[in-house]
Structure 1
Amino acid sequence: MSPRSDAVVRRASVAIAPPEAERGGPDDRALVRALVAGEPWAAAAVWNRHAPKVFRIVARVLGPGADAEDLTQDVFVSVFSKVPGLRDPDALGSFIVSVTLRMLKWELRRRRVRRILHFAESAELPEQAVEPVDSEAREALGRLYAILDTLNADDRTVFVLRHMEGMSLPEIAEAARVSLATVKRRLSRATELVSSRVEHDASLAGYYKKGTARDEP
């Protein structure tokens, strides 16, 4: 079951403060047990706790042309179907991010094929992808995503999770189910490419410097 609610979607879209479920209520282990037991409230509780982060990651990784709401729904459909096989119930959050990354990788590859076939997605920036910005910043962000479109799916995802989502390198490695060394290699490649593309664009370079995180874990 995948809960659909305008109120929940709006909360996930803003994703500024953690919802009440993140600050209290059953822990993830208890939520996993409740899901497996078929408790009717469990799916909504998992959604309320984890959907804002999933939505934010999806919107930031996909950028322009993204339908973050639909993909977020798809992530949780997959999560709920796989929860009975989850070995470590305490790792529910990391598991959800891992499912998100796998689905993003598939979606990025699908979009690349669409571009090759000249059916590229619209260049319109989704309003829910980022906090409200002025027109100059929106244009700069659009140019940044054009650069990100040249990266492979793995490098792009690591770059966004580190520099835009602010995740640590160990967190990314755990979610992506790869070694820390692999994450560092992907991040280094992506950062080098993006930096080389923006260094001659003053407005984009300023936005990039303000928005990126340090490369240390």
Structure 2
Amino acid sequence: MSPRSDAVARKASLAITPPESGGPDEGEVVRALVTGEPWAAAAVWNKHAPKVFRIAARVLGPGADAEDITQEVFVRVFSKISGLRDPDALGSFVFSVTVRILKWELRRRRVRRILQLSDTADLPEHPVEPADSEAREALGRLYAILDTLSADDRTAFVLRHMEGMSLQEIAEAVGVSLATVKRRLGRATKRVSSLVESDTTLAAYGMREEARDEP
């Protein structure tokens, strides 16, 4: 990866202007990136970073540093770009890298929570700032429920219910079979539905119906 690409990934702002229409196609951008053209890294960042940032924020939840995750995704993309067999598949490649890094982050967090358990198996008390509104509280409750899912199940649930992706799109992004995605999503939906069912705050915001949505 060129120093220029690394600098763009680590320092570029997420206040990105939309890419201009009529520019080079993805194949041309990838070839330019591999040969070290100075404009290519910025072009990749401008086109794909907003979506990566949005997905990271939705998967990890409020308070997560989605900007750091986004930068890490592009550091990985730029370092691996020379191995991309199909230059026209850049968008799929960026998304697959995003999913892998998010799943790693979710697993790291789960290990962290396990290691922080007290002798009574209760999570330690931490000061929590009061919610700004009922909606903020509901969102926090929803993500507390998502925290109980495995990384694989949570990723499938968020991509389906928050990103609106099809089962086939999820399978391709995650690199598993359609049947595996259905199992993960079914398991996650059943658990989330059960927990939302017993939470009056979430039910008041209509999340009960969303959690019940069948894959």
Given the two structures, how large is their TM-score scaled by the length of structure 1? Answer: 0.83
CA contact (8 A) 1:137 1:207 kept: no
CA contact (8 A) 1:62 1:108 kept: yes
* Separation in structure 1 between the aligned mates of residue 127 and residue 178 of structure 2, nearest angstrom: 33
Residue 209 and residue 103 in structure 1: after superposition, are their counterparts in 2 closer, same or farther (change >3 A)?
A: same
Residue 22 and residue 102 in structure 1: after superposition, are their counterparts in 2 closer, same or farther (change >3 A)?
A: farther
Shift of 1:123: 8.6
CA contact (8 A) 2:193 2:211 kept: no
Of the candidates 175, 184, 189, which is equivalent to residue 177 of structure 1? 175
Q: 1:98 maps to which residue?
A: 96
- Larger mean Cα displacement after TM superposition, 185-194 or 24-33: 24-33
Task: Kindly indicate whether residue 77 of structure 2 is the aligned counterpart of residue 72 of structure 1.
Answer: no
* Separation in structure 1 between the aligned mates of residue 175 and residue 41 of structure 2, nearest angstrom: 25
Equivalenced residue count is 200
Q: 2:15 maps to which residue?
A: 10
Residue 136 and residue 175 in structure 1: after superposition, are their counterparts in 2 closer, same or farther (change >3 A)?
A: same
Let me know the Cα RMSD of the aligned residues: 2.6
Shift of 1:68: 0.6
CA contact (8 A) 2:197 2:208 kept: no
Relative contact order (alpha carbons < 8 A, sep ≥ 6): 1 or 2 greater?
1
1:33-54 per-position Cα deviation (integer Å, ceiling 9, x unaligned): 1111111000000000000110
Given the two structures, how large is their TM-score scaled by the length of structure 2? Answer: 0.84
Amino acid at match of 2:96: S
Counterpart mapping for 1:30-49 below 5 A? 30-49=28-47
Q: Percent identity?
A: 70
Q: 2:139 maps to which residue?
A: 141
1:76-105 per-position Cα deviation (integer Å, ceiling 9, x unaligned): 000011111011111111111111111111
CA contact (8 A) 2:73 2:97 kept: yes
Computing the radius of gyration from Cα coordinates, the structure with the larger value is 2
Q: Which runs of 5+ in 2 are unaligned?
A: 118-122
Amino acid at match of 2:173: A
Of the candidates 98, 110, 116, which is equivalent to residue 118 of structure 1? 116
Amino acid at match of 1:58: A
Q: 1:130 maps to which residue?
A: none
* Separation in structure 2 between the aligned mates of residue 152 and residue 123 of structure 1, nearest angstrom: 25
Shift of 1:211: 5.8
CA contact (8 A) 1:173 1:183 kept: yes
* Separation in structure 2 between the aligned mates of residue 66 and residue 109 of structure 1, nearest angstrom: 14
Give the SS at the match of 1:21: coil
Q: 2:105 maps to which residue?
A: 107
1:85-141 per-position Cα deviation (integer Å, ceiling 9, x unaligned): 011111111111111111111111111111112288x8979xxxxxxx961111011
CA contact (8 A) 2:73 2:101 kept: yes
Shift of 1:168: 1.4
* Separation in structure 1 between the aligned mates of residue 199 and residue 91 of structure 2, nearest angstrom: 38
Q: 2:148 maps to which residue?
A: 150
Residue 209 and residue 196 in structure 1: after superposition, are their counterparts in 2 closer, same or farther (change >3 A)?
A: closer
1:164-194 per-position Cα deviation (integer Å, ceiling 9, x unaligned): 1111111111111111111111111101100
CA contact (8 A) 1:98 1:175 kept: yes
